[in-house]
Amino acid sequence: MDFDLFVIGGGSAGVRCARIAAGHGARVGIAEDRFWGGTCVNIGCVPKKLLVQAGEYGAWAEDAAGFGWSIRKGPHDWGKLLAAKDREISRLAGIYRKLLDGAGATIFDARARLTGPNSLDVGGRTITAERIVIATGGHPTRLPIPGAERGIVSDDAFYLPALPKRVAILGSGYIAVEFAGIFSALGAAVDLVYRAPLPLRGFDHDLREALAEALASGGVTLHPGVTPERIEADGAGHRLLLSTGGAIAADLVFFATGRRPATENLGLEAAGVAVTATGAVVVDAHLRTTQPHIFAIGDVTDRLNLTPVATAEGHALADSLFGGKPRRISLENVPTAVFSTPPVATVGLSEEAAAARGKVDVYVSRFTPMRHTLSGRARRSLMKLVVDQASGRVLGAHMLGEDAPEIMQGLGIAVAMGATKADFDRTIGIHPTAAEEFVTLRTRTREAG
Ligand code: NDP
Protein backbone atom coordinates (compact mmCIF):
# COMPACT_ATOMS: atom_id res chain seq x y z
CA MET A 1 0.00 0.00 0.00
CA ASP A 2 1.21 3.53 -0.78
CA PHE A 3 -0.24 4.95 2.45
CA ASP A 4 -1.41 3.80 5.88
CA LEU A 5 -4.15 6.43 5.65
CA PHE A 6 -5.54 8.44 2.76
CA VAL A 7 -7.83 11.38 3.56
CA ILE A 8 -10.20 12.74 0.91
CA GLY A 9 -10.90 16.41 1.67
CA GLY A 10 -8.75 19.14 3.19
CA GLY A 11 -11.35 20.85 5.38
CA SER A 12 -11.51 21.09 9.15
CA ALA A 13 -12.12 17.36 9.65
CA GLY A 14 -9.69 16.02 7.06
CA VAL A 15 -6.77 18.31 7.85
CA ARG A 16 -6.97 17.57 11.58
CA CYS A 17 -7.20 13.83 11.01
CA ALA A 18 -4.29 13.78 8.53
CA ARG A 19 -2.10 15.99 10.67
CA ILE A 20 -2.61 14.04 13.89
CA ALA A 21 -2.27 10.66 12.16
CA ALA A 22 1.01 11.76 10.53
CA GLY A 23 2.16 12.99 13.95
CA HIS A 24 1.54 9.48 15.30
CA GLY A 25 3.91 8.17 12.62
CA ALA A 26 1.41 6.98 10.00
CA ARG A 27 2.20 7.39 6.30
CA VAL A 28 -0.57 9.81 5.34
CA GLY A 29 -1.78 11.22 2.02
CA ILE A 30 -4.45 13.90 1.72
CA ALA A 31 -6.20 15.32 -1.34
CA GLU A 32 -8.07 18.61 -1.76
CA ASP A 33 -9.02 20.10 -5.10
CA ARG A 34 -10.45 23.46 -4.07
CA PHE A 35 -9.73 25.12 -0.74
CA TRP A 36 -7.29 24.03 1.96
CA GLY A 37 -9.18 24.63 5.18
CA GLY A 38 -12.48 23.79 3.47
CA THR A 39 -15.78 25.56 3.92
CA CYS A 40 -15.13 26.93 7.40
CA VAL A 41 -11.94 28.77 6.58
CA ASN A 42 -12.75 29.87 3.04
CA ILE A 43 -16.51 30.26 2.57
CA GLY A 44 -17.99 29.71 6.01
CA CYS A 45 -17.36 30.38 9.69
CA VAL A 46 -14.24 32.53 9.41
CA PRO A 47 -15.12 35.00 6.62
CA LYS A 48 -18.72 35.05 7.90
CA LYS A 49 -17.56 36.22 11.30
CA LEU A 50 -15.38 38.92 9.73
CA LEU A 51 -18.46 40.20 7.87
CA VAL A 52 -20.51 40.13 11.10
CA GLN A 53 -17.79 42.17 12.80
CA ALA A 54 -17.81 44.66 9.91
CA GLY A 55 -21.49 45.25 10.61
CA GLU A 56 -20.87 45.71 14.33
CA TYR A 57 -18.56 48.68 13.72
CA GLY A 58 -21.37 50.53 11.99
CA ALA A 59 -23.68 50.00 14.94
CA TRP A 60 -21.00 51.06 17.40
CA ALA A 61 -20.44 54.27 15.46
CA GLU A 62 -24.17 55.01 15.85
CA ASP A 63 -24.23 54.00 19.52
CA ALA A 64 -21.22 56.12 20.45
CA ALA A 65 -23.28 59.33 20.46
CA GLY A 66 -25.00 58.23 23.67
CA PHE A 67 -21.57 58.10 25.30
CA GLY A 68 -20.64 61.65 24.28
CA TRP A 69 -18.86 60.97 20.99
CA SER A 70 -19.57 62.83 17.77
CA ILE A 71 -18.89 60.14 15.19
CA ARG A 72 -20.41 60.41 11.77
CA LYS A 73 -20.93 57.06 10.09
CA GLY A 74 -19.56 57.39 6.57
CA PRO A 75 -20.30 55.06 3.67
CA HIS A 76 -19.17 51.47 3.86
CA ASP A 77 -16.59 50.22 1.34
CA TRP A 78 -17.61 46.63 0.52
CA GLY A 79 -14.66 46.14 -1.86
CA LYS A 80 -12.18 47.12 0.84
CA LEU A 81 -13.78 44.74 3.33
CA LEU A 82 -13.69 41.82 0.89
CA ALA A 83 -10.07 42.50 -0.05
CA ALA A 84 -9.08 42.51 3.63
CA LYS A 85 -11.09 39.35 4.18
CA ASP A 86 -9.42 37.67 1.18
CA ARG A 87 -5.94 38.50 2.48
CA GLU A 88 -6.72 36.95 5.85
CA ILE A 89 -8.33 33.87 4.33
CA SER A 90 -5.32 33.25 2.01
CA ARG A 91 -3.05 33.52 5.03
CA LEU A 92 -5.13 30.98 6.96
CA ALA A 93 -5.47 28.56 4.04
CA GLY A 94 -1.67 28.71 3.66
CA ILE A 95 -1.25 27.86 7.34
CA TYR A 96 -3.48 24.80 6.94
CA ARG A 97 -1.32 23.53 4.10
CA LYS A 98 1.89 24.25 6.02
CA LEU A 99 0.63 22.38 9.08
CA LEU A 100 0.09 19.29 6.98
CA ASP A 101 3.47 19.62 5.36
CA GLY A 102 5.12 20.11 8.73
CA ALA A 103 3.45 16.99 10.09
CA GLY A 104 4.86 14.97 7.19
CA ALA A 105 1.64 14.27 5.26
CA THR A 106 1.86 13.98 1.47
CA ILE A 107 -0.29 16.69 -0.08
CA PHE A 108 -2.21 16.29 -3.34
CA ASP A 109 -3.81 19.40 -4.84
CA ALA A 110 -6.19 17.19 -6.76
CA ARG A 111 -9.59 15.58 -6.78
CA ALA A 112 -9.70 12.07 -5.33
CA ARG A 113 -12.18 9.34 -6.18
CA LEU A 114 -12.46 5.83 -4.81
CA THR A 115 -11.94 3.12 -7.43
CA GLY A 116 -12.13 0.13 -5.07
CA PRO A 117 -12.06 -0.67 -1.35
CA ASN A 118 -8.36 0.23 -1.07
CA SER A 119 -7.66 2.19 -4.22
CA LEU A 120 -8.18 5.74 -5.38
CA ASP A 121 -7.75 7.87 -8.44
CA VAL A 122 -6.05 11.07 -7.28
CA GLY A 123 -5.80 13.58 -10.12
CA GLY A 124 -5.17 10.73 -12.60
CA ARG A 125 -2.75 8.79 -10.37
CA THR A 126 -3.63 5.43 -8.87
CA ILE A 127 -3.02 5.30 -5.15
CA THR A 128 -3.54 2.51 -2.65
CA ALA A 129 -4.18 2.92 1.06
CA GLU A 130 -4.71 0.63 4.02
CA ARG A 131 -7.38 2.92 5.46
CA ILE A 132 -9.35 5.74 3.89
CA VAL A 133 -11.16 8.69 5.45
CA ILE A 134 -13.96 10.51 3.64
CA ALA A 135 -14.05 14.14 4.77
CA THR A 136 -15.56 15.91 1.78
CA GLY A 137 -18.03 18.11 3.68
CA GLY A 138 -21.13 19.49 2.01
CA HIS A 139 -22.55 22.06 -0.37
CA PRO A 140 -25.35 24.60 0.01
CA THR A 141 -28.52 23.81 -1.91
CA ARG A 142 -31.15 25.83 -3.77
CA LEU A 143 -34.85 25.05 -3.58
CA PRO A 144 -36.12 23.43 -6.79
CA ILE A 145 -38.29 26.38 -7.87
CA PRO A 146 -38.49 28.02 -11.29
CA GLY A 147 -35.80 30.67 -11.64
CA ALA A 148 -33.67 29.20 -8.81
CA GLU A 149 -30.53 29.79 -10.89
CA ARG A 150 -31.11 33.53 -10.45
CA GLY A 151 -30.40 33.17 -6.72
CA ILE A 152 -27.07 32.73 -4.97
CA VAL A 153 -25.94 30.41 -2.14
CA SER A 154 -23.58 31.12 0.73
CA ASP A 155 -20.52 30.08 -1.34
CA ASP A 156 -21.19 33.08 -3.60
CA ALA A 157 -21.98 35.56 -0.82
CA PHE A 158 -18.30 35.97 0.02
CA TYR A 159 -17.42 37.21 -3.47
CA LEU A 160 -20.23 39.62 -4.35
CA PRO A 161 -18.86 42.48 -6.47
CA ALA A 162 -20.90 45.06 -4.53
CA LEU A 163 -23.22 45.21 -1.54
CA PRO A 164 -26.74 44.73 -2.91
CA LYS A 165 -29.30 47.33 -1.87
CA ARG A 166 -32.22 44.89 -1.45
CA VAL A 167 -31.65 41.30 -0.36
CA ALA A 168 -34.26 38.56 -0.06
CA ILE A 169 -33.00 35.66 2.04
CA LEU A 170 -34.80 32.31 1.90
CA GLY A 171 -34.75 30.06 4.98
CA SER A 172 -34.32 30.79 8.66
CA GLY A 173 -31.53 28.48 9.75
CA TYR A 174 -28.02 29.45 10.81
CA ILE A 175 -26.94 30.85 7.46
CA ALA A 176 -30.15 32.78 6.77
CA VAL A 177 -30.23 34.66 10.05
CA GLU A 178 -26.48 35.29 10.07
CA PHE A 179 -26.54 36.85 6.62
CA ALA A 180 -29.72 38.79 7.40
CA GLY A 181 -27.74 40.49 10.16
CA ILE A 182 -24.68 41.06 7.97
CA PHE A 183 -26.47 42.65 5.01
CA SER A 184 -28.76 44.67 7.22
CA ALA A 185 -25.93 46.03 9.38
CA LEU A 186 -24.00 47.03 6.27
CA GLY A 187 -26.95 49.03 4.97
CA ALA A 188 -29.05 46.73 2.76
CA ALA A 189 -32.82 46.32 3.07
CA VAL A 190 -33.35 42.66 4.01
CA ASP A 191 -36.43 40.45 3.64
CA LEU A 192 -36.28 37.08 5.43
CA VAL A 193 -38.69 34.54 3.96
CA TYR A 194 -39.28 31.30 5.86
CA ARG A 195 -41.93 28.62 6.10
CA ALA A 196 -41.91 28.12 9.88
CA PRO A 197 -43.67 30.51 12.28
CA LEU A 198 -40.32 31.39 13.89
CA PRO A 199 -36.67 31.28 12.78
CA LEU A 200 -34.11 28.64 13.91
CA ARG A 201 -36.18 25.50 14.04
CA GLY A 202 -34.96 23.14 16.78
CA PHE A 203 -33.77 25.92 19.08
CA ASP A 204 -35.51 26.86 22.32
CA HIS A 205 -38.88 28.53 21.69
CA ASP A 206 -38.18 31.61 23.85
CA LEU A 207 -34.89 32.07 22.04
CA ARG A 208 -36.59 31.83 18.65
CA GLU A 209 -39.19 34.40 19.68
CA ALA A 210 -36.53 36.73 21.03
CA LEU A 211 -34.53 36.38 17.82
CA ALA A 212 -37.55 37.18 15.63
CA GLU A 213 -38.12 40.28 17.73
CA ALA A 214 -34.44 41.28 17.55
CA LEU A 215 -34.29 40.79 13.77
CA ALA A 216 -37.39 42.91 13.30
CA SER A 217 -36.18 45.67 15.60
CA GLY A 218 -32.84 45.58 13.74
CA GLY A 219 -34.69 46.46 10.55
CA VAL A 220 -35.09 43.03 8.88
CA THR A 221 -38.53 42.48 7.33
CA LEU A 222 -39.80 39.06 8.42
CA HIS A 223 -42.06 36.86 6.29
CA PRO A 224 -42.91 33.87 8.53
CA GLY A 225 -45.09 31.03 7.24
CA VAL A 226 -44.22 31.81 3.63
CA THR A 227 -42.64 29.66 0.92
CA PRO A 228 -41.03 31.05 -2.20
CA GLU A 229 -42.57 29.88 -5.48
CA ARG A 230 -40.50 31.32 -8.29
CA ILE A 231 -37.91 33.95 -9.15
CA GLU A 232 -38.41 36.16 -12.19
CA ALA A 233 -36.45 38.92 -13.85
CA ASP A 234 -37.43 42.42 -12.75
CA GLY A 235 -35.42 45.02 -14.63
CA ALA A 236 -31.82 44.62 -13.49
CA GLY A 237 -33.01 42.77 -10.38
CA HIS A 238 -35.32 39.94 -9.44
CA ARG A 239 -38.86 39.41 -8.33
CA LEU A 240 -39.52 36.69 -5.80
CA LEU A 241 -43.07 35.36 -5.94
CA LEU A 242 -44.46 33.98 -2.70
CA SER A 243 -47.00 31.35 -1.64
CA THR A 244 -49.12 34.14 -0.19
CA GLY A 245 -49.58 35.66 -3.64
CA GLY A 246 -47.28 38.54 -2.74
CA ALA A 247 -43.91 39.38 -4.28
CA ILE A 248 -40.62 40.88 -3.15
CA ALA A 249 -38.39 42.96 -5.42
CA ALA A 250 -34.71 42.30 -4.71
CA ASP A 251 -31.27 42.87 -6.17
CA LEU A 252 -30.10 39.61 -4.62
CA VAL A 253 -32.00 36.44 -3.79
CA PHE A 254 -30.07 34.23 -1.39
CA PHE A 255 -30.92 30.55 -0.83
CA ALA A 256 -30.00 29.64 2.76
CA THR A 257 -32.10 26.53 2.60
CA GLY A 258 -29.77 23.85 3.87
CA ARG A 259 -26.71 21.92 2.78
CA ARG A 260 -26.22 18.46 1.33
CA PRO A 261 -23.32 16.07 1.85
CA ALA A 262 -20.69 16.08 -0.93
CA THR A 263 -20.82 12.43 -1.94
CA GLU A 264 -21.47 12.68 -5.67
CA ASN A 265 -18.87 11.20 -8.04
CA LEU A 266 -16.77 9.96 -5.14
CA GLY A 267 -16.84 6.32 -6.24
CA LEU A 268 -18.53 5.24 -3.02
CA GLU A 269 -20.33 2.33 -4.75
CA ALA A 270 -17.03 1.03 -6.11
CA ALA A 271 -15.70 0.90 -2.56
CA GLY A 272 -18.86 -0.56 -1.01
CA VAL A 273 -19.66 2.53 1.10
CA ALA A 274 -23.40 3.06 1.74
CA VAL A 275 -25.12 6.44 1.82
CA THR A 276 -28.54 7.52 3.12
CA ALA A 277 -31.38 8.72 0.90
CA THR A 278 -30.04 12.27 1.26
CA GLY A 279 -26.53 11.23 0.25
CA ALA A 280 -24.89 11.24 3.69
CA VAL A 281 -22.26 8.57 4.39
CA VAL A 282 -23.59 6.13 6.96
CA VAL A 283 -21.27 5.72 9.97
CA ASP A 284 -21.35 3.81 13.25
CA ALA A 285 -20.29 5.15 16.66
CA HIS A 286 -16.63 4.62 15.65
CA LEU A 287 -17.08 6.65 12.44
CA ARG A 288 -16.75 3.44 10.40
CA THR A 289 -18.69 3.26 7.16
CA THR A 290 -20.24 0.05 5.84
CA GLN A 291 -16.67 -0.81 4.76
CA PRO A 292 -14.84 -1.24 8.11
CA HIS A 293 -11.48 0.20 6.97
CA ILE A 294 -13.14 3.28 5.42
CA PHE A 295 -14.23 6.06 7.76
CA ALA A 296 -16.21 9.26 7.35
CA ILE A 297 -16.00 12.42 9.48
CA GLY A 298 -17.57 15.88 9.54
CA ASP A 299 -20.43 17.25 7.44
CA VAL A 300 -20.34 14.43 4.89
CA THR A 301 -22.02 12.29 7.56
CA ASP A 302 -24.73 14.97 8.08
CA ARG A 303 -25.28 14.53 11.82
CA LEU A 304 -24.20 17.66 13.71
CA ASN A 305 -22.72 19.91 11.04
CA LEU A 306 -20.40 22.08 13.08
CA THR A 307 -16.70 22.70 12.50
CA PRO A 308 -15.56 21.91 16.06
CA VAL A 309 -17.42 18.59 15.88
CA ALA A 310 -15.66 17.79 12.60
CA THR A 311 -12.20 18.62 13.96
CA ALA A 312 -12.88 16.69 17.16
CA GLU A 313 -13.92 13.66 15.11
CA GLY A 314 -10.83 13.91 12.92
CA HIS A 315 -8.61 14.10 15.98
CA ALA A 316 -10.34 11.24 17.81
CA LEU A 317 -10.20 9.03 14.74
CA ALA A 318 -6.46 9.62 14.21
CA ASP A 319 -5.78 8.95 17.91
CA SER A 320 -7.91 5.80 17.79
CA LEU A 321 -6.29 4.38 14.65
CA PHE A 322 -2.66 5.35 15.11
CA GLY A 323 -2.15 6.82 18.58
CA GLY A 324 -3.10 3.83 20.71
CA LYS A 325 -5.77 6.04 22.34
CA PRO A 326 -9.16 4.77 21.15
CA ARG A 327 -11.86 7.33 21.94
CA ARG A 328 -15.18 8.62 20.73
CA ILE A 329 -16.75 12.07 20.51
CA SER A 330 -20.03 12.68 22.28
CA LEU A 331 -22.62 14.59 20.29
CA GLU A 332 -24.51 15.50 23.46
CA ASN A 333 -24.26 18.91 25.08
CA VAL A 334 -22.38 20.38 22.13
CA PRO A 335 -22.49 24.16 22.58
CA THR A 336 -23.35 26.10 19.46
CA ALA A 337 -23.76 29.72 18.42
CA VAL A 338 -25.53 31.51 15.63
CA PHE A 339 -23.75 34.75 14.75
CA SER A 340 -26.92 36.66 14.14
CA THR A 341 -27.13 40.32 15.17
CA PRO A 342 -27.26 40.05 18.18
CA PRO A 343 -25.97 36.47 18.46
CA VAL A 344 -27.65 33.40 19.87
CA ALA A 345 -25.84 30.67 21.79
CA THR A 346 -27.02 27.53 23.42
CA VAL A 347 -25.93 24.31 25.08
CA GLY A 348 -27.98 21.28 26.04
CA LEU A 349 -31.72 20.84 25.71
CA SER A 350 -34.38 23.36 24.77
CA GLU A 351 -37.26 23.74 27.22
CA GLU A 352 -39.49 21.76 24.85
CA ALA A 353 -37.02 18.85 24.47
CA ALA A 354 -36.31 18.75 28.22
CA ALA A 355 -40.01 18.92 29.16
CA ALA A 356 -40.68 15.94 26.88
CA ARG A 357 -38.40 13.89 29.16
CA GLY A 358 -39.74 15.00 32.55
CA LYS A 359 -40.55 17.89 34.88
CA VAL A 360 -38.32 20.93 34.56
CA ASP A 361 -37.96 24.30 36.26
CA VAL A 362 -37.47 27.15 33.84
CA TYR A 363 -35.69 30.42 34.62
CA VAL A 364 -35.90 33.24 32.10
CA SER A 365 -34.51 36.74 32.26
CA ARG A 366 -34.95 39.52 29.70
CA PHE A 367 -33.16 42.80 30.14
CA THR A 368 -31.64 45.77 28.36
CA PRO A 369 -27.85 45.39 28.38
CA MET A 370 -26.08 48.17 30.26
CA ARG A 371 -24.48 49.53 27.08
CA HIS A 372 -27.87 50.19 25.53
CA THR A 373 -29.22 52.14 28.49
CA LEU A 374 -26.93 54.89 27.19
CA SER A 375 -26.72 54.04 23.49
CA GLY A 376 -30.49 54.17 23.19
CA ARG A 377 -30.48 51.17 20.83
CA ALA A 378 -33.63 49.10 21.28
CA ARG A 379 -31.94 45.79 21.99
CA ARG A 380 -32.79 43.32 24.71
CA SER A 381 -30.98 40.20 25.85
CA LEU A 382 -32.52 36.92 26.90
CA MET A 383 -30.97 34.36 29.23
CA LYS A 384 -32.54 31.10 30.20
CA LEU A 385 -31.82 27.96 32.20
CA VAL A 386 -33.76 24.72 31.98
CA VAL A 387 -33.32 22.62 35.12
CA ASP A 388 -34.30 19.00 35.77
CA GLN A 389 -36.66 19.09 38.76
CA ALA A 390 -35.67 15.70 40.15
CA SER A 391 -31.88 16.05 40.08
CA GLY A 392 -31.43 19.82 39.94
CA ARG A 393 -29.15 19.38 36.92
CA VAL A 394 -29.00 22.18 34.39
CA LEU A 395 -30.14 20.53 31.18
CA GLY A 396 -30.00 23.57 28.94
CA ALA A 397 -28.61 27.10 28.88
CA HIS A 398 -29.72 29.58 26.24
CA MET A 399 -28.86 33.16 25.45
CA LEU A 400 -29.61 35.82 22.89
CA GLY A 401 -27.52 38.93 23.29
CA GLU A 402 -24.11 40.45 22.79
CA ASP A 403 -21.24 38.11 23.69
CA ALA A 404 -23.59 35.10 23.94
CA PRO A 405 -21.12 32.79 22.09
CA GLU A 406 -18.24 33.86 24.36
CA ILE A 407 -20.34 33.27 27.47
CA MET A 408 -21.76 29.92 26.33
CA GLN A 409 -18.37 28.29 25.82
CA GLY A 410 -17.71 28.31 29.57
CA LEU A 411 -21.24 27.29 30.44
CA GLY A 412 -20.80 24.36 28.05
CA ILE A 413 -18.19 22.92 30.40
CA ALA A 414 -20.51 23.26 33.39
CA VAL A 415 -23.47 21.67 31.62
CA ALA A 416 -21.36 18.82 30.18
CA MET A 417 -20.00 18.15 33.69
CA GLY A 418 -23.54 17.85 35.03
CA ALA A 419 -23.59 21.05 37.08
CA THR A 420 -26.77 21.63 39.09
CA LYS A 421 -28.72 24.84 39.58
CA ALA A 422 -27.26 24.91 43.11
CA ASP A 423 -23.74 24.89 41.59
CA PHE A 424 -24.71 27.86 39.41
CA ASP A 425 -26.25 29.63 42.45
CA ARG A 426 -23.17 29.28 44.64
CA THR A 427 -20.93 30.70 41.92
CA ILE A 428 -20.16 34.37 42.55
CA GLY A 429 -21.00 36.63 39.63
CA ILE A 430 -18.63 38.97 37.83
CA HIS A 431 -20.09 42.42 38.12
CA PRO A 432 -21.16 44.24 36.05
CA THR A 433 -21.55 41.76 33.21
CA ALA A 434 -24.41 40.18 31.34
CA ALA A 435 -22.94 36.75 32.12
CA GLU A 436 -23.56 37.13 35.86
CA GLU A 437 -27.25 36.80 35.16
CA PHE A 438 -26.69 33.06 34.67
CA VAL A 439 -25.62 32.72 38.32
CA THR A 440 -28.24 35.07 39.76
CA LEU A 441 -31.42 33.61 38.29
CA ARG A 442 -33.19 33.22 41.65
CA THR A 443 -36.89 33.19 40.77
CA ARG A 444 -38.38 30.34 38.79
CA THR A 445 -40.36 31.63 35.80
CA ARG A 446 -42.43 28.49 35.33
CA GLU A 447 -42.56 24.75 35.58
CA ALA A 448 -42.87 22.58 32.46
CA GLY A 449 -43.09 18.93 31.56
P1 NDP B 1 -30.32 24.86 8.15
O2 NDP B 1 -30.57 23.42 8.01
O3 NDP B 1 -29.87 25.39 9.46
O4 NDP B 1 -31.58 25.70 7.69
C5 NDP B 1 -32.21 25.45 6.48
C6 NDP B 1 -33.37 26.41 6.30
O7 NDP B 1 -33.96 26.17 5.02
C8 NDP B 1 -34.46 26.21 7.34
O9 NDP B 1 -35.02 27.45 7.68
C10 NDP B 1 -35.47 25.35 6.57
O11 NDP B 1 -36.78 25.52 7.02
C12 NDP B 1 -35.34 25.92 5.18
N13 NDP B 1 -35.81 24.97 4.18
C14 NDP B 1 -35.31 23.75 3.89
N15 NDP B 1 -36.02 23.17 2.92
C16 NDP B 1 -37.00 24.03 2.58
C17 NDP B 1 -38.07 23.99 1.64
N18 NDP B 1 -38.25 22.94 0.84
N19 NDP B 1 -38.91 25.06 1.57
C20 NDP B 1 -38.74 26.13 2.38
N21 NDP B 1 -37.72 26.23 3.28
C22 NDP B 1 -36.87 25.19 3.39
O23 NDP B 1 -29.29 25.16 6.98
P24 NDP B 1 -28.29 26.34 6.70
O25 NDP B 1 -28.22 26.35 5.22
O26 NDP B 1 -28.63 27.60 7.41
O27 NDP B 1 -26.94 25.81 7.36
C28 NDP B 1 -26.51 24.48 7.19
C29 NDP B 1 -25.85 23.96 8.42
O30 NDP B 1 -24.54 24.48 8.52
C31 NDP B 1 -26.50 24.37 9.75
O32 NDP B 1 -27.58 23.58 10.11
C33 NDP B 1 -25.35 24.22 10.70
O34 NDP B 1 -25.25 22.88 11.06
C35 NDP B 1 -24.17 24.65 9.87
N36 NDP B 1 -23.81 26.06 10.13
C37 NDP B 1 -23.34 26.41 11.36
C38 NDP B 1 -23.02 27.72 11.65
C39 NDP B 1 -22.53 28.09 13.02
O40 NDP B 1 -22.10 27.21 13.76
N41 NDP B 1 -22.62 29.36 13.42
C42 NDP B 1 -23.14 28.77 10.64
C43 NDP B 1 -23.65 28.31 9.39
C44 NDP B 1 -23.97 27.00 9.15
P45 NDP B 1 -37.36 24.64 8.26
O46 NDP B 1 -36.64 25.09 9.47
O47 NDP B 1 -38.80 24.98 8.26
O48 NDP B 1 -37.06 23.22 7.91
| Per-residue confidence (pLDDT) for residue 237, from 0 to 100 | 97
| Per-residue confidence (pLDDT) for residue 99, from 0 to 100 | 93
Q: Give the residue, by CA position, lying nearest to ligand 1 atom 28.
A: 258
Instruction: Print burial letters for 393-417: b (CB count within 10 Å at least 16), e (below 16).
Output: bbbbbbbbbbbbbebbeebbebbee
Three-state secondary structure string covering 136-154: CCEEECCCCCCCHHHCECH
Convert the pLDDT of each residue in 419-436 to its tens digit.
999 999 999 999 999 999
Split at pLDDT 50, 70, 90, the class of 292 is very high
Q: Say if residues 15 and 30 touch (Cβ distance below 8 Å).
A: yes
Mean residue pLDDT of the chain comes to 97
Residues with CB under 6 A from ligand 1: 140, 143, 171-176, 178, 194-196, 201, 227, 256-259, 305-306, 336-339
The dihedral through the CA atoms of 303, 307, 313, 314 has a sign that is: positive
Q: Give the residue, by CA position, lying nearest to ligand 1 atom 4.
A: 173
| Per-residue confidence (pLDDT) for residue 79, from 0 to 100 | 98
Q: Which atom of ligand 1 is nearest to the CA of 337?
A: 41
Q: Say if residues 151 and 140 touch (Cβ distance below 8 Å).
A: no
Strands (E), 272-343: 294-296, 336-338
Mean pLDDT, rounded, for 269-294: 97
Domains for the chain: give ranges and CATH numbers.
3-139+260-322 (3.50.50.60), 148-257 (3.50.50.60), 342-448 (3.30.390.30)
Q: Which of 24, 35, 31, 25 is nearest to 6 (CA)?
A: 31
| Per-residue confidence (pLDDT) for residue 84, from 0 to 100 | 98
Count of Cβ atoms closer than 10 Å to residue 232 Cβ: 12
Testing ligand 1's pocket by substitution, the residue of 257, 260, 302, 307 carrying the most ligand atoms inside 8 A of its CB is 257
Report the separation in Å between the CA atom of 442 and the middle of ligand 1, taken as the mean of its atom positions. 35
Q: What is the pTM of this model?
A: 0.97
CA neighbours closer than 13 Å in the CB half-sphere of residue 402: 16
Convert the pLDDT of each residue in 28-82 to its tens digit.
999 999 999 999 999 999 999 999 999 999 999 999 999 999 999 999 999 999 9
| Per-residue confidence (pLDDT) for residue 363, from 0 to 100 | 98
| Per-residue confidence (pLDDT) for residue 217, from 0 to 100 | 95
| Per-residue confidence (pLDDT) for residue 111, from 0 to 100 | 98
- The 3-state DSSP class for residue 297 equals coil
Q: Which atom of ligand 1 is nearest to the CA of 196?
A: 47
Burial class (CB in 10 A: 0-12, 13-18, 19+), 218: buried
| Per-residue confidence (pLDDT) for residue 244, from 0 to 100 | 96
Query: What are the two backbone dihedrals, phi and then psi, of residue 362, each rounded to the nearest 5 degrees?
Result: -120, 130
Consecutive H or E run containing 89: helix 78-103
Consecutive H or E run containing 29: strand 28-31
Strands (E), 319-393: 336-338, 344-348, 360-367, 381-388
